[in-house]
Amino acid sequence: MSLKIYINGTLFDKQDAKISVYDHGLLYGDGVFEGMRCYAGQVFRLREHLDRLWTSARKIDLTIPISTEEMEMAVNSTLAANDIRDGYIRLIVTRGEGTLGLDPNKCAEAQVIIITDMITLYPDEFYENGLAIVTAKTIRNHPLALDPQIKSLNYLNNILAKIEGLKAGCVEALMLNHEGEVAECTGVNIFIVNAGVLQTPPVSAGVLKGVTRGAVMELAREDGIKVEEVTLTLEDVYAADECFLTGSAAEVVPVREVDGNQIGAGSPGLITRRLTDLYCNLRTQ
Ligand code: PMP
């Protein structure tokens, strides 16, 4: 059976799911998206993802042509049509078909696309031994150039950093902000553990407000772990007792090495393990 893709209210077979080459999503990266997980038939924190999608859209002056309730139903019916209970969901809203010029007002109607698919997970080895990452020279977008809180279809900033990471043999790369502070990795947020305190850069450091980041902070607090959103330098990361990354697809991944510096006494550390277990329970509750 061919995978069914939702485009503007209609389900198409994957090979027939097409949008115009004049779509400004393609021509200019003009659009927004979300990446979500579904566990045992339930989309994890769907409302939070939809809120972020609508916030991203508002920030680029894009009107999503359906309501959040309709989007919720569309996501669930696309999952059902594909019989996916555990998988990955990509929600995309593009500016739509326009002219070859930049003017978004010349675009006819926004395109809403929902792709539900199986997920390719990181190998177990990454979770057991931790990742080695490097700091990219490419910095995170300046908030006054492209607000990193907008999850836009223009991911070149992150892709350039990812290429740097891959060239250094790493699947993730750490990105600093324009002040030289630690921001996040190319597709995941970063946490460190420092003397028993869980620390992560504040959203004002130019990071995406990750849904997994939020869930992990909540879990830590409920578990009596002190959580701080603080400015972090690279030296703070190098000197950390533990380090891990969070994202919808990757969930909680330990980091064992940053720029050749070993983190803590061995990865994953105790708090990383604890939060991984708690996250594992939470996602299927
Ligand atoms: N930062 C960036 C740049 C991302 O693309 C993502 C993935 N969407 C994240 C962080 C993690 O966000 P979430 O936990 O909502 O998946």
**What does the pLDDT look like over 210-250, one tens digit per residue?**
999 999 999 999 999 999 999 999 999 999 999 999 999 99
SS3 123: coil
pLDDT one-digit tens code per residue, 27-65: 999 999 999 999 999 999 999 999 999 999 999 999 999
Q: Where are the alpha helices (DSSP H) in 130-255?
A: 156-167, 211-222, 234-238
Which residue of 188, 219, 275 sits with most ligand 1 atoms within 8 Å of its CB, as the best mutation to test the pocket?
188
**Annotated catalytic residue, options 151, 162, 167, 226:** 151
For the domain spanning 4-117, the CATH number is 3.30.470.10
* Beta strand 197-200 pairing with 227-229: parallel
* Beta strand 189-194 pairing with 197-200: antiparallel
Token pair 């593009």: residue? 94
Q: Specify the pLDDT at position 101.
A: 97
C-alpha–C-alpha distance, residues 225 and 270, integer Å: 12
Q: Where are the domains of the chain?
A: 4-117, 124-283
Per-residue tokens: 237:
């990361």
SS3 37: strand
Q: Specify the pLDDT at position 144.
A: 95
Place domain 124-283 in its CATH homologous superfamily.
D-amino Acid Aminotransferase, subunit A, domain 2 (3.20.10.10)
Per-residue tokens: 252:
């909680």
What does DSSP assign to residue 264? T
Inform me whether the pLDDT recorded for 285 exceeds 80: no
SS3 190: strand
Angle 116-70-7 from CA coordinates, rounded to 5°: 45
What's the 152 CA to ligand 1 centre distance in angstroms? 11
Confidence of residue 121 (pLDDT cuts 50, 70, 90): confident
pTM above 0.75, yes or no: yes
Which residue of 156, 185, 208 sits with most ligand 1 atoms within 8 Å of its CB, as the best mutation to test the pocket?
208
Is 151 one of the catalytic residues?
yes
